[in-house]
Amino acid sequence: MIRDLVLKNRSYRRFCQEVSIDIVTLKELVDLARLSASGGNRQPLKYILSCDPQKNALIFEHLAWASYLKEWPGPSEGERPSAYIIVLGDTEIRRSIVCDQGIAAQSILLGATEKGLGGCIIGSIRKDRLRKALAISPRYEILLVLALGKPKEKVVIESVGTGGNIRYWRDSEGVHHVPKRHLDDIIIG
Ligand SMILES: Cc1cc2nc3c(=O)[nH]c(=O)nc-3n(C[C@H](O)[C@H](O)[C@H](O)COP(=O)(O)O)c2cc1C
């Protein structure tokens, strides 16, 4: 079961934008993050939720998509995420957060996958501009943005070839291919 869920939980970047996600669903997903591991159990993460088209548009402006797909500027109108969860670090609880945000992101995305949704972790964020657009207090460090929606693209996993190229790519049918290293190549002892 967990293997199936992990396999299904790919990074999706094109969505059925007309399928909305409600605030209750976003709260359920953040609750999975709340129940996840946190270094020293300090729980410094805070969240901003968005499922409103206008707020979504403000957030979208400041994200960078799929850097290996040089010709693709990101999802076009109609294929954009229906919702976002912005993951913040509360500097009054902890100054430097190394790992919590990744665990939270994975919990949220696995939960989204179970609900038939999908998403993408976005680390390439124009943080100063996003902070300004949403009037985010300097108290909160912007760590990640999770884009969410009903996936509209097919993503397949393949093996990294002998050349060692790990770059994802899109074929002429629009299928997104993600090379993963072999198990034998990552277990070194
Ligand atoms: C910390 C982190 C930051 C990421 N930032 C971005 C990003 O800014 N833009 C993007 O399109 N994808 C981003 N991704 C998604 C990765 O490109 C994706 O996980 C990778 O290509 C493997 O695909 P998979 O998630 O389907 O296994 C990020 C993933 C992680 C874990």
Give the mean pLDDT per block of 10 residues along the chain (189 residues): 97 98 99 98 98 98 98 98 99 97 98 98 98 98 98 98 96 98 97
In the prediction, which pLDDT does 107 show?
98
Closest C-alpha to ligand 1, atom 28: 121
Question: How much is the pLDDT for 71?
Answer: 95
Six token digits for residue 91:
């500097």
For residue 75, report the distance from its CA to the centre of ligand 1, in Å. 15
* pLDDT attached to residue 53: 98
User: Ligand 1 atom 20: the closest Cα is on which residue?
Assistant: 11
Closest CA to 179 of 144, 188, 170: 170
pLDDT of the residue at 82: 98
Provide the residue type at 171 as one letter.
D
**Coil vs helix vs strand at 135:** coil
The ligand 1 atom nearest the CA atom of 124: 8
Q: Provide the pLDDT for residue 12.
A: 98
Ligand 1 pocket test: pick from 10, 99, 122 the residue with the most ligand atoms within 8 Å of its Cβ: 122
Distance of CA 69 from the midpoint of ligand 1 (Å): 12
The protein residue with its alpha carbon nearest to ligand 1, atom 3, reads 123
Q: 164 alpha carbon to ligand 1 midpoint, in Å?
A: 18
DSSP annotation of 30? H
CB of 108 within 8 A of CB of 32?
yes
Exposure string over 132-145, b if 16+ CB within 10 A, otherwise e: eeeebeeebbbbbb
How confident is the model at residue 132, as a pLDDT? 98
Task: Find the 25 Cα to ligand 1 centroid distance in Å.
Answer: 22
Model pTM score? 0.98
CA 58 / ligand 1 centre spacing (Å): 21
